[in-house]
């Protein structure tokens, strides 16, 4: 009993910290989400119910945000992981200048999001003075200029996905190159002596060996993409609803602090919807990985 | 299939700038007879693993040729050589079962060599039976002991019927008891299959106990090749003499004066055919005979009783190393005292050139 007490004492700092900064806000969010007509100035509400969810789920801005986020997730997670795997395989098969290339591929990771956004603006945004580098390229190949920042939806989505993939890849490359490097060379020697074709070496040896890392990247990639917000702001500015490029997290932020903000109840409801989506997807991911990854 | 190594040399460029290139294997010539088990023996860094890699084709020689039978395979990549390879850490695919691991090499067959599913299973089972793990076909490597994993690795190397089986420190990851068991197993499997086998080890006891022939290497150079007993009884140089035998040979700084072998001030043997001068004397632990009036006196440290025989630990001012260890029958009782005296068995006393370490042969004077 005495030992037990001591144990709890050791845990106390962490528990207090978690309780104040995680558990309490979570409960608070849940409470906000069911309080109807909550007014943050007067701290009053008229009743308890699911009205906030009802409102959020019918809000065209929210539905647009969900659509944007889903497209972003579905496109960027597989694409960035696949590309990162290809680049890592390339990196680990070259000997000369490997460190140099590794550093170059890692640069985007240490670059500020907004600075990268600025660079993308220069690449994609037509201004009074210039068409933007990408448009110049399109023109060169005989295409017509596209406004990637204020133009059609698909063009804006393309830039957002491009940007997201570009920004998440360095970390994935870093993880995958070290995963590839940690595969024992003896497996490859035995496989070579046994005349194993290279595609078979890849699918039967390399891929299973690094599968835990791939699943880790996919799961964290899904969660990260669902929480996308700053990338969209860096490209399209703060008024994302007007640009039609809002994300779920962006919607939550707007409901709290945006020009039309001041609705913590709607924000909480939207946040809980996001939570439910992420929880479902992650559970599915974990179930799939348990079946397929070899630890 | 006999394996012929002819003037095989492997030179690695220096790791440091301006350093000397490393001769990992230096002018290795040897014909491994068909169906024999050969032990490549030497301390770490002596080039034994490099030699194995050269035979497998994972490394290409700087100079020299390798023949399997009468075919020159020097330029052939490893996948075309038809060798089986087993590593110290087994290198079993952890996500595959025993059956899948053993089948793996067979599934690589293409074109006319392609096997049916049933044929692959049959051959995998046959190989598993040979190494006596046929009861564990559906296990994953992690669910087996080290010895069992090593058997799976051997089965995987054997299943495609290799022309040569290569084992790189196959027993080093096993505990002492399993090592004894597995090395006998290795000998049995090799006998049953008759596949020419080369195995690398740094453990001289392991090499001596199961090899038909051993090759002792030092710094890339072959120091002696022969049947284990022959190499032990008749070492060509001090390195081989010191490397083989437990406890190791006792080495003394001695000299030859007018037909007498001197260690310190004592004439321990009367010999013929060696000119006067300094000489290195090696005496096997079993070369000592306890005798109260013996010609060789050592300072007694302690007596270790081992049951079957007795180990006498002593020191001598002319010895190299920390002590002199002699093994005598347990019936011979050592009288306690400060000194102990021995006679020497000439067959167990080897002389080496004091500078080069090469063997100096002598005759016993009557």
Write the DSSP string, B142-205.
GGS-HHHHHHHHHHHHHTT--SEEEEESTTTTS-HHHHHHHHHHHHHHHHHH--EEEEEES-HH
pLDDT band (50, 70, 90) for residue A32: confident
Residues 6+ apart with CB under 8 A from A62: A56, A248, A251, A270
User: Are B197 and B305 in the same domain?
Assistant: no
CB atoms A194 and B79 under 8 Å: yes
Range of the domain at B332: 250-364
User: Are B198 and B73 in the same domain?
Assistant: yes
Identify the pLDDT of residue A261: 66
- Mean pLDDT, residues A54-59: 90
CB atoms B105 and A195 under 8 Å: yes
Given B225, B243, B261, which residue is the final one in a domain? B243
Given B227, B243, B259, which residue is the final one in a domain? B243
CB atoms B89 and A190 under 8 Å: no
Q: Kindly report the CA angle at A155 between A152 and A161, in degrees rounded to 5? A: 140
Return the top range by mean pLDDT from A29-38, A56-65, A227-236.
Answer: A56-65
| Chain A nearest CA to B65, separation (Å) | 19
Q: Kindly report the CA angle at A44 between A41 and A50, in degrees rounded to 5? A: 115
Please report where in the chains the tokens 């050791």 appear, as a residue. Answer: A10
What is the count of structural domains for chain B?
A: 2
User: Are B237 and B296 in the same domain?
Assistant: no
Q: Determine contact: B114 vs chain A, CB below 8 A.
A: no
CB atoms B89 and A204 under 8 Å: no
| Chain A nearest CA to B291, separation (Å) | 55
| CA pair distance B172, B175, nearest whole angstrom | 8
The answer to whether the beta carbons of residues B88 and B168 sit under 8 Å apart is: yes
DSSP A206-244: IHHHHHHHHHHHHHHHHHHHHT--HHHHHHH-S-HHHHT
* ipTM for the whole complex: 0.81
Any idea what the CATH number is for the domain that residue B268 is in?
Answer: 2.40.50.140
The answer to whether the beta carbons of residues B309 and B331 sit under 8 Å apart is: no
User: Are B350 and B320 in the same domain?
Assistant: yes
Q: Determine contact: B160 vs chain A, CB below 8 A.
A: yes
Q: Which residues of B touch A213 (CB under 8 A)?
A: none
User: Are B326 and B177 in the same domain?
Assistant: no
User: Are B310 and B183 in the same domain?
Assistant: no
Q: Which residues of A touch B91 (CB under 8 A)?
A: 184, 186-187, 189-190
Q: Which residues of B touch A197 (CB under 8 A)?
A: 108, 110
Identify the pLDDT of residue A107: 83
Identify the pLDDT of residue A225: 92
Q: Which residues of A touch B94 (CB under 8 A)?
A: 294
Average pLDDT, chain A: 86
CA nearest to A184 within chain B? B91
Q: What tens digit of pLDDT does each residue of A212-262 get?
A: 999 999 999 999 999 888 888 888 888 888 888 899 999 999 888 877 667
| Chain A nearest CA to B53, separation (Å) | 10
Q: Determine contact: B7 vs chain A, CB below 8 A.
A: no
User: Are B166 and B228 in the same domain?
Assistant: yes
CB atoms A187 and B81 under 8 Å: no
Question: What pTM did the predictor assign?
Answer: 0.79
Kindly state the tokens that stand for B51: 């030699």
User: Are B125 and B221 in the same domain?
Assistant: yes
CB atoms B91 and A192 under 8 Å: no
CA nearest to B142 within chain A? A295
Kindly state the tokens that stand for A141: 């190949």
CB atoms A195 and B93 under 8 Å: no
User: Are B85 and B206 in the same domain?
Assistant: yes
CA nearest to A190 within chain B? B85
Q: What tens digit of pLDDT does each residue of A133-154 get?
A: 787 788 888 777 777 777 788 8
3 state DSSP class of B263: strand
Q: Determine contact: B79 vs chain A, CB below 8 A.
A: yes
Which of A182, A185, A189, A195 to mutate to test binding with chain B, by most B CBs within 10 Å of its CB? A195
Kindly state the tokens that stand for A281: 């997807």
Identify the pLDDT of residue B30: 92
Digitized pLDDT (tens) for each residue of chain B, 366 residues in all: 899 999 999 998 887 777 888 888 989 999 999 999 999 999 988 889 999 999 999 999 999 999 998 999 998 999 889 899 998 888 999 989 999 999 999 998 887 888 888 989 999 998 998 888 888 999 999 999 888 898 999 999 999 889 999 999 888 888 888 888 888 888 998 998 899 999 999 888 888 988 999 999 999 899 999 999 999 999 999 999 999 988 899 999 999 988 889 998 888 888 888 889 999 999 999 999 998 888 899 999 999 988 888 999 999 999 998 899 999 998 888 888 888 999 999 999 999 999 999 999 998 886
The answer to whether the beta carbons of residues B29 and B205 sit under 8 Å apart is: no
pLDDT at A128 > cutoff 70:
no
Q: Which residues of A touch B78 (CB under 8 A)?
A: 192-193
Chain A residues bordering chain B (beta-carbon distance below 8 Å): 184, 186-187, 189-190, 192-197, 200, 204-205, 208-209, 294
CB atoms A190 and B80 under 8 Å: no
Please report where in the chains the tokens 């496109």 appear, as a residue. Answer: A75
| All domains of chain A in start order, with CATH | 1-49 (no CATH), 59-116+154-292 (1.10.3720.10)
Identify the pLDDT of residue A294: 66
| CA pair distance A141, A139, nearest whole angstrom | 5
Burial of A83 (0-12, 13-18, 19+ CB in 10 A): middle
Given B187, B221, B243, which residue is the final one in a domain? B243
Identify the pLDDT of residue A1: 62
CA nearest to B77 within chain A? A193
- Mean pLDDT, residues A83-109: 86
Any idea what the CATH number is for the domain that residue B180 is in?
Answer: 3.40.50.300
User: Are B225 and B266 in the same domain?
Assistant: no
Identify the pLDDT of residue A69: 94
Please report where in the chains the tokens 């690398």 appear, as a residue. Answer: B200
Of all residues in chain A, the percent with pLDDT exceeding 70 is 96
pLDDT band (50, 70, 90) for residue A4: confident
Residues 6+ apart with CB under 8 A from A291: none
User: Are B279 and B238 in the same domain?
Assistant: no
Of A190, A195, A294, the CB nearest to B91: A190
Give the phi and the psi of residue B363 in degrees, each rounded to 5.
-115, 150
CA nearest to A191 within chain B? B105
User: Are B45 and B29 in the same domain?
Assistant: yes
Judged by average pLDDT, the poorest of A3-12, A37-46, A94-103, A240-249 is A37-46
């Amino acid at each position: 009993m005495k030992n037990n007490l001591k144990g709890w004492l050791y845990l106390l700092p962490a528990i207090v910290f978690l309780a104040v900064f995680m558990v309490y806000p979570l409960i608070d969010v849940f409470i906000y989400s069911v309080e109807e007509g909550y007014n943050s100035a007067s701290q009053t509400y008229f009743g308890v119910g699911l009205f906030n969810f009802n409102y959020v789920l019918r809000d065209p801005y929210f539905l647009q945000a969900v659509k944007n986020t889903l497209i972003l997730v579905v496109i960027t997670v597989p694409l960035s992981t696949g590309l990162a795997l290809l680049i890592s395989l390339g990196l680990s098969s070259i000997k000369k200048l490997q460190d140099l290339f590794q550093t170059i591929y890692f640069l985007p990771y240490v670059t500020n999001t907004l600075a990268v956004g600025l660079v993308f603006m220069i690449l994609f945004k037509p201004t009074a003075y210039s068409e933007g580098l990408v448009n110049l390229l399109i023109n060169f190949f005989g295409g017509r200029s596209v406004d990637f920042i204020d133009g059609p939806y698909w063009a804006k989505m393309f830039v957002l996905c491009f940007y997201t993939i570009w920004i998440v890849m360095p970390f994935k490359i870093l993880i995958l190159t070290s995963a590839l490097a940690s595969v024992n060379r003896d497996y490859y020697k035995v496989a070579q002596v046994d005349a194993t074709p290279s595609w078979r070496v890849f699918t039967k040896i390399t891929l299973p060996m690094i599968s835990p890392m791939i699943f880790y990247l996919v799961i964290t990639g899904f969660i990260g993409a669902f929480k996308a917000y700053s990338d969209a702001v860096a490209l399209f500015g703060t008024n994302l609803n007007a640009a039609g490029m809002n994300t779920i997290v962006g919607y939550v932020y707007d409901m709290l602090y945006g020009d039309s903000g001041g609705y913590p109840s709607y924000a909480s409801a939207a946040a809980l919807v996001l939570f439910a989506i992420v929880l479902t997807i992650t559970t599915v991911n974990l179930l799939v990985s348990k079946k397929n990854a070899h630890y | 299939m006999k394996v012929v190594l002819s003037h095989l040399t492997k030179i690695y460029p220096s790791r440091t700038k301006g350093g000397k290139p490393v001769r990992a294997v230096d002018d290795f010539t040897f014909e491994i007879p068909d169906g024999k088990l050969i032990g490549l023996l030497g301390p770490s860094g002596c080039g034994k693993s490099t030699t194995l890699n050269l035979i497998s084709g994972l490394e290409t020689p700087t100079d020299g040729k390798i023949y399997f039978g009468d075919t020159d395979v020097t330029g052939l990549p490893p996948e075309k050589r038809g060798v089986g390879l087993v590593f110290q850490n087994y290198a079993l695919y952890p996500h595959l079962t025993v059956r899948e691991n053993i089948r793996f090499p067979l599934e690589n067959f293409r074109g006319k060599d392609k096997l049916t599913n049933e044929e692959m299973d049959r051959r995998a089972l046959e190989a598993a039976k040979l190494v006596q793990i046929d009861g564990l076909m559906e296990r994953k490597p992690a669910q087996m002991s080290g010895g069992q994993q090593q058997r799976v690795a051997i089965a995987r190397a054997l299943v495609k019927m290799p022309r040569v089986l290569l084992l790189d420190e196959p027993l080093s990851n096993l505990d002492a008891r399993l090592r004894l068991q597995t090395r006998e197993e290795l000998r049995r499997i090799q006998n049953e299959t008759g596949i020419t086998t080369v195995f690398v080890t740094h453990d001289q006891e392991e090499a001596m106990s199961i090899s038909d022939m051993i090759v002792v290497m030092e710094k890339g150079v072959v120091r002696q090749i022969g049947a284990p007993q022959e190499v032990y009884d008749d070492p060509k140089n001090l390195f081989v003499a010191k490397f083989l035998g437990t406890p190791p040979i006792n080495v003394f700084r001695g000299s030859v004066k007018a037909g007498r072998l001197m260690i310190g001030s004592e004439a321990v043997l009367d010999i013929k055919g060696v000119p006067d001068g300094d000489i290195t004397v090696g005496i096997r632990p079993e070369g000592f005979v306890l005798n109260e009036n013996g010609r060789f006196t050592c300072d007694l440290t302690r007596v270790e009783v081992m049951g079957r025989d007795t180990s006498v630990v002593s020191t001598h001012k002319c010895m190299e190393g920390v002590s002199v260890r002699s093994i005598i029958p347990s019936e011979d009782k050592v009288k306690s005292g400060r000194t102990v005296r021995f006679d020497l068995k000439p067959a167990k006393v080897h002389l080496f050139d004091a500078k080069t370490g090469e063997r100096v042969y002598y005759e016993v004077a009557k």
